[in-house]
Structure 1
Amino acid sequence: MNAMLEVRDLKVTYRSGGRTVPAVRGVDLTLDAGQTLGLAGESGSGKSTLAMSLLRLLPAAAEVTGQVLYQGEDLLTAKWSRMRAVRWAEASVVFQGAMTALNPVHTIGDQLVEPILLHGRRAGEEGGRTTEKQARARAGELLESVGVPARRMRSYPHEFSGGQRQRIMIAMALACRPNLIIADEPTTALDVMVQAQILDLLSGLVRDEGIGVIMISHDLSVLGQMCDRLAVMYAGELVESGPSRQLLDAPEHPYTRALSRAFPTIGDPASRMAPAGLPGDPPDPSALGAGCPFAARCPDVHEVCDSTPVELWPAGPGRQSACLRALPGFPNISTARHEIEPSAEGARS
């Protein structure tokens, strides 16, 4: 059975000031219906660029190559009329920051009704267009399904709390009953109680509706709670992927280990009082060398890491790691540890 979404050798390059900046470098991903895939990594690792490229939402300065196969159809070569039909009706986005994504001069009811009317044949009754009355009824049902009273349809975005606005964004993403939802940091800036409610809501939608979700976050604890599988990005590449619980409990790549240790463990005073960080800064994507891009910050770097190209290699059942130490026979030399100062210059050397 074919995956609902399959990404093959996806590359995204930005043109800026007469130079090219590779933001995503040869990423492969698959997502099945009813599955949730988490994308993790530091800011600037390429997560949002990767996600927005799937529906061709990047600016004109971005050059995208590779394949994005949605139900077997390559969206990167599809006509714009086809992309207009795919967006909202078959795949939708929950954008980061609901206040900036919602239109402040229109009521939330009008903003929910608009995509339902535009893509009415899918959202309405079989064989006909959706009427205004049907669209209003559907909008009210959507609001109720995410815990916002339907009577608030005439309210404007500024009249809601941050958590309510995020719920409204999820309702908008569901307006035309899509098969795929891309959630870009859907719980950013929310308190922990509202965050838990949003995650429970998304989990219920995956379970009850059988949709596929790609969820982006720099918070591994959120992704571990929500996602079936995780993919960790660094410098525009995937450095590790696998089942979420396995990847968090026993990370193979040094970068994944550093991310997981950056969060204090509840009930563990040692981790709370001395959380482990990661020295240095992410590398300049336009000045990457031939070897591992993480070598300059890696605590387990070996002399061959600076010059040997890396790729995702098998690292156990259903798991992959872009680390030379994942290869059979690689020497485990403890004396090859590499210390750097926590500065941008050290990270980019």
Structure 2
Amino acid sequence: MRQRVMLALAMASRPRVLIADEPTSALDASLAREMMRLICDVVSEAGTALLVVTHDISLSREFCDRMLVMYGGCVVEEGRSTELAAQPRHSYTDALLKSVPTLAHAAAWRLPTISPAPVPHPDIAADGCPFRFRCARRTALCETMPDTSVCQSDGADHLVRCWHPAHHAAA
């Protein structure tokens, strides 16, 4: 109920952009979906743009048109939510998606996790890819930060900041 009140307060001033920072925190999965549907309905009716900040990648896939994945303060991948979730290019995005519990993991003794390597201090990671210390595709090139490259898939842009992005066959 508090989140509904906060949504009403936020929309009272008729903003052009609503930034929803973890709008479904502390809600179970069904209430989270209900809250996101309400937010989407309200902003659509008002003609307001919506920016959702969340750790819930399945929520992003379901309710957002585009997704930006950040690691260590840097955007490492950006694309249409459905495309990014289906064909992640950056190792971190791929690891995030694989670590989401699914029914396929029900019989597993242990859920997939992201490499346990320590996250470096931001000053150390600043010169190169911030995920390089945890990445299986790491090479010497990763000590420098690449420019964002564009991967074409299904005619849409898919941006990835990686020297060694995963390549997927066109659908």
Is the alpha carbon distance of 1:168 and 1:231 closer, same or farther for their aligned partners in structure 2, counting shifts above 3 Å? same
2:87 to 250, 253, 278: 250
Is the alpha carbon distance of 1:198 and 1:241 closer, same or farther for their aligned partners in structure 2, counting shifts above 3 Å? same
Quick check: 1:261–1:276 contact (8 Å CA) kept in 2?
yes
- After superposition, what is the alpha-carbon deviation per residue over 1:308-344, rounded to whole angstroms, capped at 9, x for unaligned? 322211012221000112499xxxxxxxxxxxxxxxx
User: Could you say which residue in structure 2 is the equivalent of 1:209?
Assistant: 46
Correspondence 1:240 to 2:112: no
1:218-233 equivalence runs, <5 A: 218-233=55-70
TM-superposed CA distance for 1:275, in Å, is 2.3
Q: Which amino acid aligns with 2:149?
A: W
Q: Which structure 2 segments of 5+ residues have no match?
A: none
Larger Cα-atom Rg: 1
2:141 to 304, 311, 320: 304
Q: Structure 2 CA distance, aligned partners of 1:271 and 1:202?
A: 35
Correspondence 1:322 to 2:157: no
Q: Structure 1 CA distance, aligned partners of 2:67 and 2:88?
A: 11
Quick check: 2:79–2:159 contact (8 Å CA) kept in 1?
yes
Is the alpha carbon distance of 1:189 and 1:327 closer, same or farther for their aligned partners in structure 2, counting shifts above 3 Å? closer
Q: Structure 2 CA distance, aligned partners of 1:293 and 1:234?
A: 7
Quick check: 1:233–1:240 contact (8 Å CA) kept in 2?
yes
Between stretches 187-196 and 237-246, larger displacement belongs to 187-196
Is the alpha carbon distance of 1:273 and 1:244 closer, same or farther for their aligned partners in structure 2, counting shifts above 3 Å? farther
User: Could you say which residue in structure 2 is the equivalent of 1:174?
Assistant: 11
Q: Which structure 1 segments of 5+ residues have no match?
A: 1-163, 329-349
Aligned alpha-carbon RMSD (Å): 2.1
Q: Which amino acid aligns with 2:3?
A: Q
Q: Structure 1 CA distance, aligned partners of 2:6 and 2:56?
A: 20
Count of aligned pairs? 163
TM-superposed CA distance for 1:293, in Å, is 1.7
TM-superposed CA distance for 1:194, in Å, is 1.7
- Once the two structures are aligned, what percentage of the paired residues are identical? 35
Residue 264 of structure 1 aligns to a residue in which SS? Answer: coil
Q: Structure 1 CA distance, aligned partners of 2:85 and 2:109?
A: 21
Residue 67 of structure 2 aligns to a residue in which SS? Answer: strand
Q: Structure 1 CA distance, aligned partners of 2:63 and 2:122?
A: 30
Quick check: 1:315–1:326 contact (8 Å CA) kept in 2?
no
Q: Structure 2 CA distance, aligned partners of 1:181 and 1:269?
A: 35
Is the alpha carbon distance of 1:296 and 1:309 closer, same or farther for their aligned partners in structure 2, counting shifts above 3 Å? same
TM-superposed CA distance for 1:290, in Å, is 2.5
User: Could you say which residue in structure 1 is the equivalent of 2:125?
Assistant: 288
Q: Structure 1 CA distance, aligned partners of 2:117 and 2:107?
A: 21
1:66-77 equivalence runs, <5 A: none
Q: Structure 1 CA distance, aligned partners of 2:70 and 2:105?
A: 29
- After superposition, what is the alpha-carbon deviation per residue over 1:15-60, rounded to whole angstroms, capped at 9, x for unaligned? xxxxxxxxxxxxxxxxxxxxxxxxxxxxxxxxxxxxxxxxxxxxxx
Quick check: 2:105–2:111 contact (8 Å CA) kept in 1?
no
TM-score for the superposition, normalised by structure 1: 0.44
Quick check: 1:252–1:321 contact (8 Å CA) kept in 2?
yes
